[in-house]
Structure 1
Amino acid sequence: MRKLYILMVFSLLSMATASAQKQIKGKVKDSNGKGIESANVNLKDLEGNLINFTRSNSKGEFTIQLKSDEVIGYSIEASSIGYKRSAFKITDLNNLPEIVLQGSETNLETVTVKNRPSLSSNGDTLNYRPSDFADKQDRSIGDVLKKMPGVEVAEDGKISYNGKSISSLYVDGDNLLDDKYNIGTKSIPKDAVDKVQVIQNDQPVKMLRKNNTSDDVALNLVLKDEAKLKVMGDATAGAGTPDRFDENLTAMLFNKKLKFINNIKGNNIGVDPGIDLTSHNLSDYLKKLDNDKPNGLLSTGAAGVPSLPQSRYLFNKAGLINLNNLYKFNADLQLRANLYYLYDERKQQYNKFSETYLPGQTIRYTEFQNNEINPQKLRGQFNLNGNADKYYLNNNLVVDYIPFKTTSSVNINGTPANQLLKQQTLDLSNEFNFRRKLKSENIINLYSYLNRTTQPEELNIMPGLNADILNNGIPYAGLNQYLSLPTWYTNNYFSFALVKNRFTQTYKAGFNVQSQELNSSLYRIQNNQDRELVSANAVNDLTWLKTKFYTEASYDYTGEKIKAGVSLPLSYNRINYDDPSNALNKNLNRVFLNPSFNFKYQTGIENYVTANYSFKNDLGGIDDVYRGTVLKNYRSLFANDAPISESKSHSINAGFNFRKAMQMFFFNLNANYTNTQLNTISSYTLNNNIQQRVVLPMANRIKSLFFNANASKYLFALKSTVTAGISFSQNDYQQLQNNDLLPITSQSISYKAGIEARLASFITWSYNASYAVTDNKAKVENSIKTNFQQLRQQSTLSFTTFKNVFVNLSAEHLFTHQSSQPNLKYLFADANIKYKLEKMKTDLEFGLTNLTNIKTFDAVYLSANSLTSGSYLIPGRVAMLKARFNF
C-alpha cells in the first residue's frame, strides 16, 4: 500500500512538472496598482475559442499552462466581480503587459444565451428560468423540472442533475423539507418560482466553504417577491366511480422569518400519499451513522408489486397529515419542525407460479394470496440549526412510531391457510453536531448520536403448515412466531481540522456502541389448543454487544483544477454475543484499516473527471449469528450455523461529467467495479412447500461491474428536450441450494430515450421508452439459461381546444418476452379534460383512467436461477371529477 501511495504522488508530480514547461505568466491589478485576487483569466485563440483558463493568486499573479508556443495573436482576457472586463492580444511572449481592470458598478457579469429559453452560469451555480420551459397546463414546479435539460425526475420523485442525485432541495436558500422534498415539488406553483438554481459542490456549512471539498449537487428554488408576501396554496375536491374520492388541502408561506408547507390529503384512487415521505438519500445517511440493524425479520411472504406505475395497481384508502415549518430567529439561527402521520389501508390479490432450476431437478410451487395491509407512520422531527462563519450547530431530534399490520389468506399448492402479522417499531434518536472555527482558521468538531429502537413482531398462521417438518407429520391448528429486537446505539467523535492555504488536514477520534437483544420463540398449537414449542431449537435469547474505537486521518487538497483527498480510518472492533439457550458464547476482535482515495480534475470550465478507490472491511450483525430457528414467513425457516460474517471489499469508481450549459447539452459517464470476499454463505434447502436457510462458514466472492451513460439536450429549433441513456451491469456470485454450489452470472443491459416537445403553441408531446434485457446462467453442466426482455413506452399528447380548455391523452405500452413463457402485451390509455376558471382561480377536471378496463396484469420476474410468473388483480376503469381552487 505504501508503494502505491508513493507511485501516485510521483505520478502527480511528474504530470505537474511536464505541464509546467510552457507557461504564460502575468499580473492583474486595479487602477491603484493593487493586485486583484481570484480574477478569472482566459486564453483564447484567433477565433475566440477558449484554450485554457486560471485564476490570479492573492497578489494578482497568474500562470497559464501552454501546450504550444504558437500563441502570437491569441488574446488574454481578465474579469472579476466589481470590475470591467479587459483583454489584450499577445504580440511578444517575453514582454506581456500587466492587466489593469477598471472599477464598475456592475456587481456580477453573467453569460446568457440569446435564444430562448436561456440559462445563466455564475461559478458553480446554473440558473434555469421555469417560464422558459413551462406550459399552460403545468401546475407545480415539479411539472416543469421534468422538462429542463440536465434535470431528471424519477417516478418516485427523486431528482438528479446530469446523472447525480441532488443532496438537498432548498426553498429560497432554506432546507425546509430535509430529504423528503416531494411535497415541495408537488405543491409549490410554477409561477411562484423565479429561478431554479443548480448548485454544484454544494456546501451548506458556511465555515467550510473556503476550502470546499464537497462534491454534492443541490437545487435551490428562488421565489418571486410576490410569492413571499402572503399565504398561498390550493384545495382539491374530487369524486368518482366506482366509489372513489380524492381530497387535498395545502397552505404555504415563504417569507424571511417563517416558511411552511402544510398539507392534508386523502384518496382511494391508487395514489400513495406516503410517497411524499420518501427520504431520497436515506441509504447514504444510514451508512454515515454506521448503525446496522434489521428493519424487520418477519413477513407474510407476499409477492412484490407488478412492474407498473403505482397508480395502476394500488387498491388503497389512505390519508396523510404533513406539516413542515421553519422559523428563522436571525440570519444564522433557525428552528425547523417536520411532523407527519400516515394511515393507509391496502388490498392486494395475486396468483403466483415459481420455478427454481437446479442440477437434475426443478422446484415448483403455486400460490394464491389475498392480503389486507394496514401501514401507519407517525414522525416528529425537530431541528435546531446555527450556521455562521465562526460556528456551526445542528441538533436533530427524531421520534418514529410505525405500526404495521397484515392479514392474509394464502393457498400454496392447494393447501389453504390464514396469516396475521403485527409489527410495531418505536425509534427515538438525537443527533448533535458542533463545529467551531478558531482564530488560526483551524476547526474543531464535536459529534454525538444516540438511538433507541424497539421492534416487536408477531406472526400467526392457521392452520399449521408443513406438519412433516414442524409437527412430526401430524395435522395441527396453527403456528405463532414471536420476536423482539430492542437496540441501544451511540456514536461519538471529536475531530480537529488544520487549514493551511489549499490543504486541510483532519484528525478524528471516537467510539460507537451497539447493544441488542434478540428474543424469539416459535410455538405450535395442536388441534386441542395445547400450545408448545416447536422444538428446543426454536428459541433465541441472544444478547449482542458491539464496540468500536476508531481514529481517522484525512488529507484534502482543493485547487483551481484539482481536488484530491485521502482518508485513513483505523478501528478496533470487538463483538460479544451470548445465548445460553443455544449454548452460544462467542467474541470477536478485529483491527481494520479502511483507506479511501478520491480525485477530481477540472478538464474545462464546465467539465471534470473523477476517480475514487476504497477498501472496506465489514462485520455482520445480530441476524447473522442467531442459532434458534425463526419462521420468517409461512414457507421460510431461517437459522445460522456460522461465525460472524466478515467481508472485504475493493471498490473502484470513475466518471466523466460534461456540459455545455449555454448550448443546453449535458452528458455523464460512470463506471464502478466492486470485488467482495466473504467468509459465510447462505445454504438453502428447497422443496415444493418450504425453504429452509442456514448460514454456513464458506469462503465465497461477489464481483460487480456497473456502467452507465446519459445525455440530455435542448433542441432550440424544435423547442424540445431530448434524453438518452444506456446502462450495463454484471454480477458474479455463488448460491448454495440443495447442497449444490451454483456459480451464477447475471447480466443486464438497458436503453432509454425520451423527448419533451412543444409541437405548436397549443400542442405539447412527451414520449419515453425503455428497453431492458436480463440474462442469468449458472456455470454448471446442463444448467438452464434464463432470458428476460421488456419494452416499456409512455406517451402523452396535450393540447388546447378552446380558450382555457385543455385536453390530455396518454398511453402506456408494455411488452415482455421470456423464452419459456408466452409474450405479454398490455396497452393502457387515459384521457383528461380541464377547464380553467381564471377569475375564480379554479380548475374543473374530468378524467378517465384505464380506458380499456384491464383488470388483471401478468408479470414475469427473473432472479438468479429462478423464474416467477404472477397474475395481479388491478383496478379497472375509473372516472373522476375534480375541482381545484388556488388561493
Structure 2
Amino acid sequence: MRKAILISMLLFWGITFVFAQKAIKGTVRDAAGKGIESVNVNLKDSEGNIISFTRTNKDGIFNLPVKNDQVTGYKIEASSIGYKKQSISILDVGKSQDLTLAPSETSLETVTVKNRPLLTSKGDTLNYRTADFADKQDRSIGDVLKKMPGIEVAENGKISYNGKSISNLYVDGDNLLDDKYNIGTKSIPQGAVDKVQVIQNDQPIKMMRKNNISDDVALNLVIKDDAKLKVMGDATVGAGTPNRFDENLTAMLFNKKLKFINNIKGNNIGNDPGIDLTSHNLADYLKRLDNNKPSGLLSTGAAGVPSLPQNRYLFNKAGVVNLNNLFKFNQDLQLRANISYLFDERRQQYNKFSQTYLADQTISYAEFQNNEVNPQKLRAQFNLNKNAEHDYFNNNFILDYTPFKTNSAFAINNVAASQVLKQETFDISNEFNYRKKLKSENVILLYSYLNRTSQPENLNISPGLNADILNNGNSYLGLSQYIKLPTWYTNNYASFAFLDGGFAQTYKTGFNLQQQNLNSELYRIQNDLSSELVSERTVNDLNWFKGRVYADATYEYTNDKLKAGLSLPVSYNHINYNDPVNTLDNSLNKLFLNPSLNIKYQTGIENYVSANYFYKNDLGGIDDVYRGTVLKNYRSLFANNAPISESKTHSFRGEFNFRKAMQMFFFNASANYSNTELNTISSFSLSNNIQQRIVLPLENHIKNLSASANASKYLFALKSTITAGVNFSQSKYSQLQNGELLPFNTKTISYKAAIEAKLTNFINWSYGATYAVTNNRADVADAINTSFRQLRQQSTLAITTVQNVYLNLSAEHLFTHQANQPNLKYLFADANVKYKLLKIKTDLEFGMTNLANIKQFDAIYLSANALTTGTYLIPGRVAMLKATFNF
C-alpha cells in the first residue's frame, strides 16, 4: 500500500513538473530572411549564467524550455560559425523571440579536430602539426610536407598550397632564405619543427596589414623551443662504386637574435647541388623589375635533357657552398646575408634525329654530341630591413657572377666538328624601398632600382661548316662568333596611398631607363690561319636606348567578403636605336594604357572565387632589331628585318578555391585565356644542314586556353593522403617556314593521381601516376598531324624491418607512345637500407640505384610540326655506403 501511495505521489509531482515547464519559442534567420539550421541558442540570466539551451531545426525554429515565466529581462543569445553572435532581451515571454544574424568575418575561431592528425585553423592561418604526418624514416621537413593534404612539393622543390605557389617560406616568422628555400626543406630536421603554418593573404609589411589586399600564400615553419637553444646539423660521408662520392656538412641555428643555415656539399652521383639555389618565384621578380634583356644569344645547340628525374641521367662532379645568415638587432630591424658559390663539371652524350614536316617536304637531320659543361655561379646578397608599424625600409644589394663554358665534339649528318662556348655574365644591382605611414594613416612610398650587367659570349667552331653559305663553297678551318652586350638600367618611382577604412587609393609616378650596346662579329678562319669577317652583314654595333615615364592610379576595396582592385597605368615610351654599320637609325614613341581588374569574393568561410583581367602592351628588346647575322649555334643563323616587335595581350583568369580544413579536403579549379596580337613573325628557312631565321613584319595572333582542377584529401580511417588532378591546355599560333605560313593547333591534356599511405605501423607506401596526351595539327588542307602519349608511374615502399633498421624499395616506370614509332618502356628500381645508431646519433646507409643497370635512354620530343627522337647515355647501377652523424 505504501509503495502504491509513493508511486502515485511521484507520478503526480512529475506531471505537475511537466505542466509547469514553459517554452520560449522563436526563429533565427539570416539577412535574407531564411531560417538558419543548427544555431546554438542560449537563455542567460542577468548575470550571464546559462539557464537553458537548444539548437534550431532545419527551418531555424527553436524551443527553449524554462521552469517558470519569471524570465523577463533575461537574454536569448544565438551563435553559429560564419555569423556574428546576436542577443536580444526578453520583454514578453508569450511572443516569438526572433533574431537575425549577420555574416561574420571570414576568419575562423580556433577549432581543433580531436581525431588524429591534429589540424587547427585561426583566421588566415592553417596549422599542421608535424608529428601527426611524420614517420620514423622521414629525415627533413621536406619529407613531411609531401604527406600533408593540400600541400604539393614538385620535383624541383617548389611548394604549392591548394594549387597556388607559395610566395615565401618563413622560419619562425623570418624570411631567412629569400625564395631559395630548397636548402631549408632539405636540411631542417622534421623533429625540430612543431607546426607548419599556411598563411593565406600573406602581407609581410606590418603597416599594410590593416588594409591587406594581398592574395599571396606563404608557409611558416614553427621551430620547437628546445630546438632553438643549440646549433643543429649533420655531416655525411659517402663512398661508392664506380668511383662515386657524396659529402655534406650542414649547421643551423634558430634563436631570436640569430638564425642561419650554412651548408657545404659535393657529389658525383647525379644530385645537382645547384638546385638548392633555385629561386622559385624568379619570373615574378623579373616581371616586377621590368628590365627585359636577353639571357644569352649563343648556345651549343644541345638537344635538352631526357624526361627523367635529374639523378637518373646526370653525369656530374659538383660542389656548393651555401651560407644563409640573419641577425636581428631588435624586433623591427634585421640584416640578412645570403652567399653561395657553385662549381660543376658535367658530361652529356646523345644522338638525335629530327624531322620537320612541311606541306611538300620533310626536313631531316641527324646529330651526335659529346659535351663537357662547366657551369659556375657566385652570388652575394645583402639585405637590410626595418619593418615597423609606421615606417618600412628595405635595401637589397645583389652581385651575380656566372661563368659558363662548354666543350663539345659533335657530328651533324656525318660531318664531324668541335665547338667551344664561353659565356660570362656579371650582374650587380641595388633595390631600395621606403614606406612611411603618416598620422593621417596615409602612406608614402619611395622606390629605386639600379642595375649593371655585362654579358660577353664567344663561340668557336672547327672545322668550318656550311661552306656554301659561309665561305663561297670553299673549305675552311673554322668560325668564331663574338658578342658583347653591356646593359645599364634604372627604375624609380614615388607613390602616395590614401586609406579610408576598407578603401585605398594609390597614385604612383616614375620613370625607367635602359641603355644597351650590342657588339657582335662573325669571323671565319681560312686554311692558311688568316682570319676575316664572314661578310659585312655579320657585324653589329647597335646602340639601344629605352625610356619610359609612367603614372598609375590604383583603387582597392576590401571587406569581410570582397576584395577588389582596379589599376589604370598609363605610360609614355620612347625607344631609339642606331647601328652605323648596318645604316640603321630608328626611333619609336608610344603611349600605352594597360588597365587591370581583379576581384575576389568569399563565398563561404573557407571558400572563394576570384577573377582578373588585364590588357597589356609590350615592346620588344634589342634582340628583336639587330640587323647583322648572328651564328646562334653551329646550325642556326639569326637576323632581323622588322621594326620593334609590339604585342597587345588580353588575358582573363578565373579561379574557385574550396577547402574543408577540419575534414582535410582541398579543391581548386581555374581557367585562363589569353589572346596576343603581334606585329612581327619569325621566318625560318630550313635545310637538312642549317636553319636561318629572320624576323619579318607580319601581323599574327597567339591564343592560349588552359584549365585545371586539383583535389587533395586525407583519409582518416586509412591514415592516407590522396591527390588527383586534370590539366588541359590549347595553343593556336602560326609558323612561317620555307615560305609557308602554317597555323597550328596544339592540345595537351594530362591526368595525375597519387597516394601517401600508412599501411601498418611499420609499412608506408606511396604511389603516383601521370598520363599526358599531346596533339599537334596544322589547320590547312592535308593537315600535318602528330600525337604523343606518355604514362609515368612512381612507387615507394618504406618498411621498418626490425628496431632501428629501415628498408626502402622504389620503382619508376615510363611508357611513351608515338604514332609510327616503336613504344618506349623503361623500369628503374632502387633499394636502400638504413640502420640508426641512436647512442651516437649516426645513421649507416647502403643504397643501390638503377638496379637493372640501364645505361641508355631513348626519348621522344614533339613540338608543332617537328618530331625529335634522342638517345642519351645515362649512368648505370651505382652503389653507395654513407654515414651521417646528427648533432
TM-score for both structures, normalised by structure 2: 0.91
For 1:45, give the aligned amino acid.
Answer: I
Following superposition, the deviation at residue 110 of structure 1 comes to: 1.6
Counterparts of 1:73-92 in structure 2 under 5 Å?
73=62, 77-78=78-79
Counterparts of 1:266-305 in structure 2 under 5 Å?
266-305=266-305
Q: Which residue of structure 2 aligns with residue 506 of structure 1?
A: 506
Q: Indicate conservation of the 8 Å contact 2:30/2:101, yes or no.
A: no
Q: Which residue of structure 2 aligns with residue 6 of structure 1?
A: none
Counterparts of 1:605-684 in structure 2 under 5 Å?
605-684=605-684
Following superposition, the deviation at residue 47 of structure 1 comes to: 3.6
Q: Which residue of structure 1 aligns with residue 876 of structure 2?
A: 876
| Distance in 1 (alpha carbons) for counterparts of 2:607 and 2:89 | 26
Q: Which residue of structure 1 aligns with residue 357 of structure 2?
A: 357
| Distance in 2 (alpha carbons) for counterparts of 1:69 and 1:846 | 62
| Distance in 2 (alpha carbons) for counterparts of 1:467 and 1:553 | 58
Counterparts of 1:132-531 in structure 2 under 5 Å?
132-531=132-531
Going from structure 1 to structure 2, the CA distance change for 1:22 and 1:884 (only over 3 Å counts) comes to: closer
| Distance in 1 (alpha carbons) for counterparts of 2:400 and 2:220 | 28
Q: Which residue of structure 2 aligns with residue 885 of structure 1?
A: 885
Q: Which residue of structure 1 aligns with residue 37 of structure 2?
A: 46
Q: Indicate conservation of the 8 Å contact 1:629/1:638, yes or no.
A: yes
Where 2:116 maps in the other structure, the secondary structure is coil
| Distance in 2 (alpha carbons) for counterparts of 1:589 and 1:777 | 39
| Distance in 2 (alpha carbons) for counterparts of 1:364 and 1:419 | 22
Q: Indicate conservation of the 8 Å contact 2:635/2:691, yes or no.
A: yes
Counterparts of 1:531-610 in structure 2 under 5 Å?
531-610=531-610
Going from structure 1 to structure 2, the CA distance change for 1:221 and 1:582 (only over 3 Å counts) comes to: same
Q: Indicate conservation of the 8 Å contact 1:172/1:221, yes or no.
A: yes
**Pairing 1:754–2:754 present:** yes
| Distance in 1 (alpha carbons) for counterparts of 2:197 and 2:790 | 36
Q: Which residue of structure 1 aligns with residue 807 of structure 2?
A: 807
Where 2:317 maps in the other structure, the secondary structure is strand
| Distance in 1 (alpha carbons) for counterparts of 2:59 and 2:431 | 59
| Distance in 2 (alpha carbons) for counterparts of 1:79 and 1:763 | 42
Deviations 1:342-379 (A, max 9, x none): 00000000000000000100000000000000000001
Going from structure 1 to structure 2, the CA distance change for 1:22 and 1:494 (only over 3 Å counts) comes to: same
Q: Which residue of structure 1 aligns with residue 14 of structure 2?
A: none
Q: Indicate conservation of the 8 Å contact 2:478/2:525, yes or no.
A: yes
Q: Indicate conservation of the 8 Å contact 2:829/2:850, yes or no.
A: yes
Following superposition, the deviation at residue 781 of structure 1 comes to: 2.0
Where 2:334 maps in the other structure, the secondary structure is strand
**Pairing 1:23–2:23 present:** no
Deviations 1:82-127 (A, max 9, x none): xx9887899978864999xxxxxxxx95211111002100000000
For 1:847, give the aligned amino acid.
Answer: G
Q: Indicate conservation of the 8 Å contact 2:86/2:101, yes or no.
A: no
For 1:349, give the aligned amino acid.
Answer: Q
| Distance in 2 (alpha carbons) for counterparts of 1:430 and 1:485 | 20
Q: Which residue of structure 2 aligns with residue 4 of structure 1?
A: none
Q: Which residue of structure 2 aligns with residue 54 of structure 1?
A: none
| Distance in 1 (alpha carbons) for counterparts of 2:201 and 2:873 | 47
Q: State the structure with more CA Rg.
A: 2
Q: Indicate conservation of the 8 Å contact 1:521/1:539, yes or no.
A: yes
Going from structure 1 to structure 2, the CA distance change for 1:238 and 1:728 (only over 3 Å counts) comes to: same
Q: Which residue of structure 2 aligns with residue 711 of structure 1?
A: 711
| Distance in 1 (alpha carbons) for counterparts of 2:756 and 2:194 | 21
| Distance in 1 (alpha carbons) for counterparts of 2:39 and 2:426 | 64
Following superposition, the deviation at residue 529 of structure 1 comes to: 0.5
Deviations 1:233-273 (A, max 9, x none): 00000000000000000000000000000000000000000
Q: Which residue of structure 2 aligns with residue 31 of structure 1?
A: none
| Distance in 2 (alpha carbons) for counterparts of 1:759 and 1:72 | 46
Following superposition, the deviation at residue 779 of structure 1 comes to: 1.3
Q: Structure 2 unaligned runs (5+)?
A: 1-28, 42-56, 64-75, 103-107
| Distance in 2 (alpha carbons) for counterparts of 1:635 and 1:278 | 31
| Distance in 2 (alpha carbons) for counterparts of 1:579 and 1:402 | 29
Q: Indicate conservation of the 8 Å contact 1:45/1:73, yes or no.
A: no
For 2:877, give the aligned amino acid.
Answer: R
Deviations 1:480-499 (A, max 9, x none): 00001000000000000000
Counterparts of 1:101-120 in structure 2 under 5 Å?
110-120=110-120
Going from structure 1 to structure 2, the CA distance change for 1:87 and 1:713 (only over 3 Å counts) comes to: farther
Q: Which residue of structure 1 aligns with residue 67 of structure 2?
A: none
Going from structure 1 to structure 2, the CA distance change for 1:711 and 1:581 (only over 3 Å counts) comes to: same
Counterparts of 1:126-137 in structure 2 under 5 Å?
126-137=126-137
Q: Which residue of structure 2 aligns with residue 12 of structure 1?
A: none
Residue identity (%): 73
TM-score for both structures, normalised by structure 1: 0.91
Deviations 1:487-519 (A, max 9, x none): 000000000000001100000000000000000
Counterparts of 1:781-800 in structure 2 under 5 Å?
781-800=781-800
| Distance in 2 (alpha carbons) for counterparts of 1:818 and 1:696 | 34
Where 1:312 maps in the other structure, the secondary structure is helix
For 1:477, give the aligned amino acid.
Answer: L
Following superposition, the deviation at residue 79 of structure 1 comes to: 9.1
Where 1:45 maps in the other structure, the secondary structure is coil
| Distance in 2 (alpha carbons) for counterparts of 1:262 and 1:655 | 39
Where 2:207 maps in the other structure, the secondary structure is helix
Going from structure 1 to structure 2, the CA distance change for 1:211 and 1:530 (only over 3 Å counts) comes to: same
| Distance in 1 (alpha carbons) for counterparts of 2:514 and 2:733 | 30
CA-based RMSD: 2.1
| Distance in 2 (alpha carbons) for counterparts of 1:670 and 1:44 | 33
Following superposition, the deviation at residue 69 of structure 1 comes to: 12
Where 2:329 maps in the other structure, the secondary structure is strand
Where 2:287 maps in the other structure, the secondary structure is helix
Q: How many residue pairs get matched?
A: 823
Going from structure 1 to structure 2, the CA distance change for 1:476 and 1:122 (only over 3 Å counts) comes to: same
| Distance in 1 (alpha carbons) for counterparts of 2:496 and 2:562 | 24
| Distance in 2 (alpha carbons) for counterparts of 1:676 and 1:264 | 46
Following superposition, the deviation at residue 696 of structure 1 comes to: 0.1
Q: Structure 1 unaligned runs (5+)?
A: 1-20, 26-42, 51-67, 100-107
Following superposition, the deviation at residue 820 of structure 1 comes to: 1.9
Q: Indicate conservation of the 8 Å contact 2:38/2:58, yes or no.
A: no
Q: Which residue of structure 2 aligns with residue 724 of structure 1?
A: 724
| Distance in 1 (alpha carbons) for counterparts of 2:370 and 2:578 | 40
Following superposition, the deviation at residue 45 of structure 1 comes to: 3.4
| Distance in 1 (alpha carbons) for counterparts of 2:672 and 2:693 | 31
| Distance in 2 (alpha carbons) for counterparts of 1:460 and 1:801 | 57
Q: Indicate conservation of the 8 Å contact 1:44/1:76, yes or no.
A: no
| Distance in 2 (alpha carbons) for counterparts of 1:514 and 1:173 | 37
Q: Which residue of structure 2 aligns with residue 13 of structure 1?
A: none
| Distance in 1 (alpha carbons) for counterparts of 2:330 and 2:745 | 57
Going from structure 1 to structure 2, the CA distance change for 1:72 and 1:455 (only over 3 Å counts) comes to: same
Deviations 1:268-315 (A, max 9, x none): 000000000000000001000000000000000011100000000000
Where 2:61 maps in the other structure, the secondary structure is coil
Q: Which moved more, 1:70-79 or 1:471-480?
A: 70-79
| Distance in 2 (alpha carbons) for counterparts of 1:440 and 1:588 | 43
